[in-house]
Amino acid sequence: MSQVALPQDLDQALAALAAPGARAVAGGTDLMIALARARREGDELPATLVELSRVAELERLEPQGRPPLVGAGVTFRRLAQDPELRRRYPILSQAAATVGSVQVRSTATIGGNVANASPAADGVSALVALEARAVVAGPAGIRRPLVSELITGPYTTSLEPGELITGFELDELEPATGQVFAKVGRRRAVAVSRLNLAVVLDAELADPRLVLGSCFPTPRRLGRAEELLTGGDPGPGLWQAAGRAAAAAFAEASGGRASAVYKVPAIKRVAARALADAWQAVGERS
């Protein structure tokens, strides 16, 4: 049986997490399923569950801040609805809006999404495209790894026992960037991504970013497609070439995985369309 800790602030949370066998509970939508499975199978439960929902420091949402900050405890529902975030970082609110159902979005948090490190995490692809850094507090103080480095593999991170993600610092982007999040799942809502794509384009195509999720052990930037886009001549030809490069990157990494049969053509088309949409958004925002 697990005990519970109800910290009221970050210091109390870190103190509770320092105890042996303590486990952080963010939204709980992944953890509660794991706990239920452990109970059915008679596996050991965490000694203490540290319920983080009362820690005000984790609830900050400051897209206009310097640096722009998203607290780890912010739910997907808030991310999807916050007007300032939608204006400045539409890619993150779009990704949030595609996560689960209203019920799940009201509960699940962006910090939990990253700490759980599912290869299909929609929030992670958006954060990687924003070159976000995780703010990680722990016994040794604070460190700020890139989200792309914090997540080391499927369901694995470099978080040490006693460490807690408190938030994410986002890249300050030029005002005129086009941002698009696209997703393919089994149904339009409440679907785990079979693939997701996060695209950020600037008006000069100086720093194009293309992230593919649900296709690799962790969401990954597609270097060769990004190189192709950099300084390129914007238009359908360029978007399609980048889509082919994206699909090739997946085909190379996946080997003969069964899902490649539909994922390769799907990536090609979804990437080309997302790039076209992002470029259109550049035009609208500049």
Q: Does 190 bind another protein (CB under 8 A)?
A: yes
Among 7, 16, 24, 48, binds another protein (CB under 8 A): 48
Residue 160 CB neighbour total at 10 angstroms: 11
Question: Could you say which of 21, 39, 262, 280 contacts another protein (CB under 8 A)?
Answer: 39
- For the CB of residue 33, give the shortest distance to another protein in the complex, in Å: 5
Minimum distance, C-beta of residue 95 to another protein, in the bound complex (Å): 16
Tell me if 2 contacts another protein by CB under 8 A. yes
CB nearer another protein, residue 53 or residue 254: 53
12 touching another protein, by CB under 8 A: no
What is the closest distance, in whole angstroms, from the C-beta atom of residue 37 to another protein in the complex? 10
- Residue 61, strand partner residues: 70
Kindly tell me which of 18 and 192 has the beta carbon lying closer to another protein: 192
Q: Which of 100, 111, 119, 234 binds another protein (CB under 8 A)?
A: 100
Select from 18, 104, 248, 264 the one that contacts another protein (CB under 8 A).
104
The binder of another protein chosen from 93, 94, 107, 109 (CB under 8 A): 107
The rounded distance, in Å, linking the Cα atoms of 44 and 34 is 11
Among 9, 21, 36, 206, binds another protein (CB under 8 A): 36
Our finding on whether 282 is near another protein (CB under 8 A) is no
CB of residue 161 vs another protein: minimum separation in angstroms? 18
**What's the rounded Cα separation, in Å, for the pair 46 and 2?**
6
Binding-site member from 17, 35, 200, 282 for another protein (CB under 8 A)? 35
Rule CB under 8 A: say whether 6 interacts with another protein.
yes
Please name the residues in contact with 38: beta carbons below 8 A apart, sequence gap of 6 or more: 44, 45
Q: Which of 103, 158, 230, 286 binds another protein (CB under 8 A)?
A: 103
Residue 168 Cα distances to 58, 70, 133, angstroms:
10, 5, 5
Q: Residue 45 interacts with another protein (CB under 8 A)?
A: yes
Does 19 sit near another protein (CB under 8 A)?
no
Sole window of 26-34, 120-128, 193-201, 209-217 interacting with another protein (rule: CB under 8 A): 26-34
Q: Which residues sit at the interface with another protein, rule CB under 8 A?
A: 1-4, 6, 25, 27-29, 32-33, 35-36, 39, 45-46, 48-49, 51, 53, 77, 100-104, 106-107, 188-190
